[in-house]
């Protein structure tokens, strides 16, 4: 990934809010799912790409035997810095790395895992080819991607609210990137082009997203993702205005107290 591309940049302020709000809001159940799937493979060497603030890394550290070597990487150093503020149950090797050019020899790992990162790869085929290069023969690549935004109620509600607020130039990061790589036919085609010739397993996993108030998802998405940069492009007061509009839309749809909504993702497993 290109660290200068706004869609792929998670600055320190975003990283902190991402960990505080988005991780419990939408990422934790899928991290547990991936860790369980990885454990069933019984790997001795695991590489995580696009590790973010470490939610999957911590789940892997808890689930895998202490003899399993875990390397967790991310393009954005601020995300790794945030991850390092929370301890893991055992040592993990943290490294800044670009999935487009992984700094590891061929066939270095038994499993490569990636949670909600593939959508950000600027060249999916090249990234998948790099993942395949560092996998051992018979090694597995496990990753997940969000389903279309309409199947993810909080993100959809907030995106619609911002489209109403900024009709001429609506901030569309959530629909364009996190929820923009959800067509399984395209994903399987890209995997094959990247060298993964064996049939992949695909599962659609539905979970529930919960928060203590409608303002939490509004803050999480508007402040804790690169959507923030698109919003701030609308002026000095835009972030506050957008957060208020998102909160109001959440309240209208889910109520003023604790809120709950559907989230849905695809989980893909393929083998070198």
Look at residue 11 in the predicted model and tell me its pLDDT. 52
* Closest of 116, 106, 18, 115 to residue 60, by C-alpha: 115
| Token digits of residue 180 | 């923009």
CA 24, distance to chain mean position in Å, is: 13
Q: Which of 36, 41, 35 is nearest to 60 (CA)?
A: 35
Residue-range definition of the domain harbouring residue 66: 6-271
- Identify whether 105 is part of a domain: yes
Contact 97, 72 (CB under 8 A): no
Domain for residue 1, yes or no? no
Report, in angstroms and rounded to the nearest whole number, the Rg of the chain calculated over CA atoms. Answer: 18
Do 83 and 51 form a contact (C-beta atoms < 8 A)? yes
| Distance between CA atoms of residues 111 and 38, nearest Å | 7
Residue 57 confidence (pLDDT): 98
List the CATH number of the domain containing 108. Answer: 3.40.50.150
151 inside domain: yes
Sheet of strand 135-146, all strands in order from the earlier edge strand to the far edge: 93-96, 69-74, 45-48, 109-115, 135-146, 259-271, 201-211
Per the prediction, the chain carries an average pLDDT of 95
Residue 58 lies in a domain: yes
Split into its structural domains, the chain has a count of: 1
- H helical segments located in the chain: 12-17, 28-41, 55-63, 77-84, 124-134, 153-165, 173-176, 184-193, 215-223, 227-232, 238-254
pLDDT reported for residue 12: 55
Query: Is the four-CA dihedral 204, 185, 174, 82 of positive or negative sign?
Result: positive
pLDDT at 8 over 70: no
pLDDT grade for 198, boundaries at 50, 70 and 90? very high
Measure Cα distances from 114 to 72, 74, 150 in Å: 10, 10, 23
CA-CA distance, 269 to 221, in Å (whole number)? Answer: 28
Question: For residue 15, what pLDDT is reported?
Answer: 85
pLDDT in tens, 24-35: 999 999 999 999
- Whether 228 is in a domain gets the answer yes
CA separation for the pair 122, 75 (Å, rounded) = 12
d(CA 76, CA 83): 11
Structure tokens at 54: 């470490």
**Does pLDDT of 109 surpass 90?**
yes
């Amino acid at each position: 990934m290109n660290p200068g591309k706004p869609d792929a940049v998670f600055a320190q302020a975003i990283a902190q809010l991402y960990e505080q709000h988005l991780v419990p809001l939408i990422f934790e159940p899928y991290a547990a799912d991936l860790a369980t799937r990885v454990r069933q493979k019984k790997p001795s060497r695991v590489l995580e790409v696009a590790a973010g603030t470490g939610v999957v890394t911590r789940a892997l550290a808890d689930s895998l035997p202490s003899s399993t070597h875990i390397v967790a990487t991310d393009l954005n150093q601020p995300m790794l810095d945030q991850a390092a503020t929370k301890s893991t149950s055992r040592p993990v090797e943290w490294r800044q790395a670009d999935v487009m050019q992984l700094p590891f020899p061929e066939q270095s790992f038994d499993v490569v895992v990636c949670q909600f990162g593939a959508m950000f790869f600027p060249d999916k085929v090249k990234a998948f080819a790099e993942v395949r290069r560092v996998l051992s023969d018979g090694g597995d690549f496990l990753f997940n991607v969000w389903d279309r935004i309409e199947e993810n109620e909080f993100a959809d509600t907030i995106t619609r609210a911002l489209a109403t607020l900024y009709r001429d130039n609506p901030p569309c990061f959530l629909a364009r990137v996190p929820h923009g790589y959800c067509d399984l036919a395209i994903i399987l085609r890209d995997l094959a082009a990247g060298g993964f010739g064996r049939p992949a397993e695909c599962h659609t996993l539905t979970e529930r997203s919960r928060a203590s108030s409608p303002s939490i998802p509004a803050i999480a998405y508007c402040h804790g993702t690169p959507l923030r940069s698109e919003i701030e492009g609308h002026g000095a007061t835009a972030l506050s205005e957008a957060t208020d509009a998102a909160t109001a839309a959440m309240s209208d749809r889910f109520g003023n107290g604790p809120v709950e909504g559907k989230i849905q993702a695809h989980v893909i497993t393929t083998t070198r």
